[in-house]
Amino acid sequence: MIRSMGKARVSSCLALGGLCLCAGLLSVSLGFAQEQSEEPLLQLGITTGVATSSNRGLDVDRTGSTTELTSRLDFLTRFATPIQELEFSGDIGLRSVTGAEDNSLPDGIFEPRLALAYSREARDARLTADLFFQEQDISSSELQFNENTADFDLLEDTGTQQRVGGDVALELRRQSPFGVTLSAGFTTRRFSDADDPDLTDQDRFRLGARFRFNLAPDTQAFLNTRFSTFEDFGTAEGRRETFSIDGTLRRDLANGNAVVRSNVTDTEDGTRYTLSAGRTIESAAWAFTGLFGVTRGVTGRVRPTGEIDVSRSLRNGELSANLTRTLRSNVDDEEQDVTTVRLGYTTQLSPLTGLNTSFSFTDRDSDGGGDDGSFGVVSLGIQRAITRDWDLNVALQHRLREEDEGDTARDNRLSITLRRDLLVRR
């Protein structure tokens, strides 16, 4: 009953959002017609390739190798004037699968994605809006990892996952000593054709307000307030609310800046406190950022947190390293201690050939008894420009997942792709 009511409420919200979006696009199109616009841009891309994996789903009980033949068509179209811009993008693929995952990954059309972005600027204000739809097939033991947030989900089932989300932000008084940015957003997650009871639908809504104070020509203060709700329709816990407030004091220096930050986050499980200080140093070849602090979690434990980021510009490339440790809420609204290490190296072997290598390792520990464990990736890639609009990419990747109980899964993946980009203007 709760699940059906939640779905009905979300459907109503999406319908209302669609009507508002149509009305907004109508007004935007009229605005574009009345203004002096730039040439519309249409960018098309075609990617085709083959990939073979020894354990695609990173299943501890290895099921065998999988080979995929794929072709994807992506597009991006943009309409712009001096004060506003509308961008629409998407991609869709065709796939043929053989091997261990041929029953869980269907052949044919797979994983479509659509995204819409709009921005408008005035003399002292800026409005941005984004909307996206994404569908993803789940194999028998699919591991989904987001390198930006260090979140990963282990989906122990087959089926389809759909994600719909959007954000809107209004920035006011951009050139004044005092400025404010108001924001709102939502993300919905839906599963279909899945038998695992742990794969449940989820909704997340968020509101935010950010205040900027120019205290001096080289000193700024920021105050951020955020409120979010999270609801998992597979549990009887109901809606979970989170409120956070953080302050930042930043001073610009000759070779970088110095910051002091504090954060208080109130969750259903308790309150989390963070205090940190950092320094950024930049030169012609080096860039260094260090942020060091302590966090008191909802259980009362105090842990060191922070980030160290170093990059070095080379003659034909770049070398980078990053170490991050955070204590925060994950995608399932559980507090997690997350440690991430990243190393990267890129170089141009010739004017037409590039090489990149990377290493990343993430370890997470949930006080709430969630899915703990670690995830690592080592990759090597070579890119070759065949013609002006044709590119060849060869990538070799080794992935590792270790569960909290000690079980380990490994995967070796080789992919070869050929891509062509087309740019069309009116």
- Tokens representing 175? 């050139």
Q: Picking from 173-177, 197-201, 323-327, which range would have the lowest pLDDT averaged per residue?
A: 197-201
Residue 390 lies in a domain: no
In this prediction, residue 426 carries a pLDDT of 60
Domain that holds residue 267: 113-384+397-405
In this prediction, residue 366 carries a pLDDT of 74
247 pLDDT band, cuts 50/70/90, is very high
Residue 146 lies in a domain: yes
- Tokens representing 306? 């922070």
For residue range 19-55, list pLDDT tens digits in order: 444 445 444 444 554 555 667 889 999 999 999 999 8
| AA identity, residue 75 | F
What pTM was computed for the model? 0.79
> Which residues fall within 8 angstroms of residue 239, CB to CB, at 6 or more apart?
229, 230, 231
For residue range 393-405, list pLDDT tens digits in order: 999 999 998 877 7
- State the Cα–Cα distance between residues 426 and 420, nearest whole angstrom: 20
Residue 263 lies in a domain: yes
Average pLDDT over residues 101-117: 87
For residue range 329-346, list pLDDT tens digits in order: 776 667 888 899 999 999
> Which residues fall within 8 angstroms of residue 310, CB to CB, at 6 or more apart?
286, 287, 288, 289, 320, 321, 322
In this prediction, residue 137 carries a pLDDT of 77
Q: Residue 187, CB half-sphere, CA atoms under 13 Å: how many?
A: 13
16 pLDDT band, cuts 50/70/90, is very low
Is the pLDDT reported for residue 56 higher than 70?
yes
Torsion of CA 189, 143, 184, 272, to 10 degrees: 120
Give the number of domains in the chain: 1
Average pLDDT over residues 379-390: 95
Residue 256 lies in a domain: yes
197 pLDDT band, cuts 50/70/90, is low
Residue 99 lies in a domain: no
7 pLDDT band, cuts 50/70/90, is very low
- Tokens representing 410? 């490994």
Average pLDDT over residues 71-94: 94
Residue 89 lies in a domain: no
59 pLDDT band, cuts 50/70/90, is confident
- Percent of the chain beyond pLDDT 70? 83
For residue range 120-159, list pLDDT tens digits in order: 999 899 999 999 999 887 764 444 555 444 455 555 556 7
Residue 97 lies in a domain: no
Instruction: Tell me which range, 153-157, 223-227, 235-239, is most confidently predicted by mean pLDDT.
Output: 223-227
Residue 339 lies in a domain: yes
> Which residues fall within 8 angstroms of residue 182, CB to CB, at 6 or more apart?
169, 170, 172, 208, 209
For position 179, which CATH number holds? 2.40.170.20
